[in-house]
Amino acid sequence: MGNCGEAMDFKILHKDKNCRARTGKFNTLHGEICTPIFMPVATQGTVKALAPVWLDEARVEALLSNAYHLYLRPGLDIISKAGGLHKFMNWPGPIITDSGGYQVFSLALLRKITDEGVNFQSHINGDSHFIGPKECLRIQEAIGSDICMVLDECVAYPCPYEKAKLAVERTLNWAKTARALKLSKGRQIFAIVQGSTFQELRKSCAQELVKLDFDGYAVGGVSVGEPTQLIYDIVSFTLNFLPQDKPRYVMGMGTPQDIIENIGQGADMFDCIIPTRYGRTGTAFTCEGKINLRNSIYANDFNPVDSECGCYGCRNFSRAYLRHLFYANEILGLELLSLHNVYFYTDLIAKIRQAIENDCFLQFKSAFLERYKA
């Protein structure tokens, strides 16, 4: 089989005595990942509106990029000539690359899925391409990813049982093909559990993937239209069948509430576009909930965005100034608020880690959510 596990040494540092929340760490080719962790999304080799120096300011530890988008633009040749994605984008820390399975789902009009893989047209210029499980991992290896995700088939919600079952069968077959592939030493491979909202499919998919002994496992195919509580139920149920001694990654989640809820169920890793997307549209996350700085109430508000935040924006500027920047169409507004939101997320994760170490995660969760609602 392939080289899963050569660089992986996931260590659970502490389990909260009162729930399933835990802290841990493992090594990658570009440094250590401590968990729980939130990874900002750098789809095309950049976190929108944030230069690497801002990522340092926000104490970001790892990023998620997208193999599908980088394969199409700028292309593997340019990334390879640059010395890999880390050097190309000047980011020294760990990078995870999504397989592109979600893009297969979201660009449904441009692709055709077969048992061998995905035939698709580029959304950029219409060129025809094929990506199967082997091609998917080779693309991520060429990019220089530290953690490569196996190609999977994600389905929409609601989904008929038979369609979800077929997607699971393809996901498992692609995982078996990928598992046999030999990557360069140290690159880790995570498999993705599918199964829509059907517990039977989620359980069987997870159990079959665990038999293949990947470096880590992700819960995929959630947050595609389901009600929030159903998402939580799916994730919680699926985590029951994933190994305790491997990282567990919930893909595409989400809000602060989503992250706290799923950490309490034993999840370790998260990514989402929400912090930067909201930041670019004027919405800030604060300890007391979301605020829209475009609202007139903030025109004469000279307080920081969040009085308890230590980011560069909150240390130096007011809500009134940020509102002015947005209405003046100044790029700095997008940058400062994106920075603030990412900082808010990483700071939340740091507090959660501390709460778990002190066996008081449930108290922290309750206090945070009560205040956040306010």
Same domain, 366 and 221: no
What's the domain count of the chain? 2
Quick one: pLDDT at residue 2? 42
**For residues 205 and 167, what is the distance between their CA atoms, to the nearest angstrom?**
10
Same domain, 246 and 365: no
Same domain, 161 and 197: yes
Same domain, 146 and 62: yes
Q: 23 has which bridge partners?
A: 14
Same domain, 324 and 265: no
Same domain, 307 and 238: no
Contact predicate 113/101, CB 8 Å = no
Consecutive 10-residue runs of the chain (374 residues): their mean pLDDT? 57 98 98 98 97 97 96 97 98 94 68 91 91 96 98 94 98 97 95 98 98 98 94 98 98 96 98 98 97 98 98 98 98 98 98 98 98 85
First to last CA, the chain: 52
pTM listed for this prediction? 0.96
Quick one: pLDDT at residue 1? 40
Same domain, 142 and 173: yes
* Inside any domain, residue 4: no
Q: What is the CATH number of the domain that holds 186?
A: 3.20.20.105
* Inside any domain, residue 242: yes
* Inside any domain, residue 329: yes
Say which of 16, 98, 215, 258 is annotated catalytic. 98
The domain boundary, picked from 227, 252, 272, lies at: 272
Domain of 214, in residue numbers: 11-272
Same domain, 196 and 87: yes
Same domain, 176 and 244: yes
Quick one: pLDDT at residue 110? 75
Say which of 16, 215, 271, 306 is annotated catalytic. 271
Q: Does residue 98 carry a catalytic annotation?
A: yes
Q: What is the CA radius of gyration of the chain?
A: 20
Same domain, 260 and 296: no
The domain boundary, picked from 225, 248, 272, lies at: 272
- What is the largest distance, in Å, between two alpha-carbon atoms of the chain? 63
Same domain, 246 and 335: no
The pair of three-digit structure tokens given for residue 136, joined into one six-digit string: 């998917």
**For residues 292 and 51, what is the distance between their CA atoms, to the nearest angstrom?**
24
* Inside any domain, residue 317: yes
User: What does DSSP say about strands 11-15 and 37-40: parallel, antiparallel, or unpaired?
Assistant: unpaired
Please choose, from the candidates 172, 168, 228, the residue with its C-alpha nearest in 3D space to the C-alpha of residue 194. 168
